[in-house]
Amino acid sequence: MNRHTASQMTQDLFHPFNTSAAIELETGALNTPAHMSLLSLFAGAGGLDIGFHKAGFNTIWANEYDKSIATSYQHHFRDVAFDGRSIVDIPESDIPRAMGIIGGPPCQSWSEAGARRGVNDHRGQLFFEYIRVLKHAQPSFFVAENVSGILHERNKVAFKNIIEMFVDAGYDVSWKKLNASDYEVPQDRERVFVVGFKKDLGIKFEFPAPIATKATMKDAIYDLKDLPFGNSCSIPNHEITDTGFSPMFMSRNRVRAWDEPSYTILAMDRHTPLHPQAPKMVNSGEKDKKLFAPGHEDKYRRLSVRECARIQTFPDDYQFIYTHPRNGYKMVGNAVPVNLAYHIAMQIKKHLGF
């Protein structure tokens, strides 16, 4: 790996900037060191941002079009310049330059459980907007996250083309499917991460090694088990929806024990895993149908929005703002787990020699 001294890195990192942006950074107008500044695309609730901030980076500009999510992001990241327009409507002249770009283009069209339209869906095509901004900003590195369905055989050609576009934009690119449970996240959650460095830096990114110790549900939420729900709770967002359990939900066990990681936290309340206070669901004798353990039916409930946020390793001081809890579940379920983002960010710092 081609390592630089701190002074050499500073000179290199200013190279992509235009003169006015470099002056702003040098004079502190963007309130962050030049070599640690970030643009956050498709920012969502900011799980990636929080993880990178913990590692010492600082978002200077963010974009999130979904109004039901943007309010929460802005409430937490009050010092970040925010643009709520659709990324397709934002001209390059309105986008500053920074040392890194992070973000997860909308993933529904790549999902194993979704419509599976991939690049033929307008949401899948938002990858091209990510690359448009990348070519404009010319950061030293980028991180793009997506669901594991993007690696499915049906998406093989599209994913190959996406990687080639990153390479053509001037980056050495690495990608890998990671399980969040390997990085101090109490949840089995597989996602694909693509990381690139400017070719002139001569860096081949190696993803962080898994952490041996696994976090569990007990580590994350045990202290919440006896707290009341709703406004009477001292911790925000500890509330649940009263949506019933669909036949699809009841088709398999949805309970993990206290000493296990959670199932994947999804973006829909009706697919939220069940609280570990309940026994695991039992066979009904029918195919694709499970039952709540007889005599324990009162113990089965969904994880609350806050419990899901804890499992996604969001801090308790992050307040999710919504008019209905289902929007809270959406924000939390679509986010990148904070601790996973942190480990990726620290590995990027290591490669850059910081």
Q: What is the CATH number of the domain that holds 174?
A: 3.40.50.150
Task: Identify which has the larger pLDDT, 90 or 20.
Answer: 90
At 126 the pLDDT is 82
- Give the mean model confidence (pLDDT) for residues 65-78: 97
At 34 the pLDDT is 63
323 within a domain of the structure (yes/no): no
69 within a domain of the structure (yes/no): yes
Band of residue 178 on the pLDDT scale cut at 50, 70, 90? very high
Q: How far apart are CA 60 and CA 50, in angstroms?
A: 13
**Of 62-76, 105-119, 306-320, which range is least confident?**
105-119
- Give the mean model confidence (pLDDT) for residues 29-46: 78
Show the tokens assigned to 351.
Answer: 């490669």
pLDDT at 129 over 80: yes
Question: H/E/C letters for each residue in the chain?
Answer: CCCCCHHHHHHHHHCCCCHHHHHHHHCCCCCCCHHHEEEEECCCCCHHHHHHHHCCCEEEEEECCCHHHHHHHHHHCCCCEEECCCHHHCCHHHCCCCCEEEECCCCHHHCCCCCCCHHHCCCCCHHHHHHHHHHHHCCCEEEEEEEHHHHCHHHHHHHHHHHHHHHHCCEEEEEEEEEHHHCCCCECCEEEEEEEEEHHHCCCCCCCCCCCCCCCHHHHHHHHCCCCCHHHCCCCCCCCCCCCCCCCHHHCCCECCCCCCECCCCCCHHHCCECCCCCCCEECCCCCCEECCCCCHHHCCECCHHHHHHHCCCCCCCCCCCCCHHHHHHHHHHCCCHHHHHHHHHHHHHHHCC
Task: Identify which has the larger pLDDT, 159 or 298.
Answer: 298
At 234 the pLDDT is 92
296 within a domain of the structure (yes/no): no
At 155 the pLDDT is 81
234 within a domain of the structure (yes/no): no
pLDDT at 174 over 90: yes
At 120 the pLDDT is 53
230 within a domain of the structure (yes/no): no
- Give the mean model confidence (pLDDT) for residues 110-116: 42
139 within a domain of the structure (yes/no): yes
pLDDT at 55 over 80: yes
At 79 the pLDDT is 95
102 within a domain of the structure (yes/no): yes
Band of residue 106 on the pLDDT scale cut at 50, 70, 90? confident
Tally of domains in the chain: 1
pLDDT at 147 over 90: no
At 245 the pLDDT is 94
Give yes or no: 107 in active site: yes
At 33 the pLDDT is 55
Band of residue 25 on the pLDDT scale cut at 50, 70, 90? very low
Q: What does pLDDT average to over the chain?
A: 87
Write the burial class of residue 229 (CB in 10 Å: 0-12 exposed, 13-18 middle, 19+ buried): middle
Task: Identify which has the larger pLDDT, 25 or 223.
Answer: 223
Out of 107, 119, 185, 274, pick the active-site residue. 107
Show the tokens assigned to 278.
Answer: 């309940």
Per-residue pLDDT tens digits for 200-257: 999 999 999 999 999 999 999 999 999 999 989 999 999 999 889 999 999 999 999 9
Q: What is the pTM of this model?
A: 0.87
At 333 the pLDDT is 97
Starting at the edge strand found earlier in the chain, the sheet holding 190-198 runs: 81-83, 58-63, 37-41, 100-103, 141-147, 190-198, 171-179
Host domain of residue 191 = 6-213+336-352
Show the tokens assigned to 190.
Answer: 């597989």
- Give the mean model confidence (pLDDT) for residues 172-176: 98
pLDDT at 1 over 60: no
Q: How far apart are CA 108 and CA 198, in angstroms?
A: 29
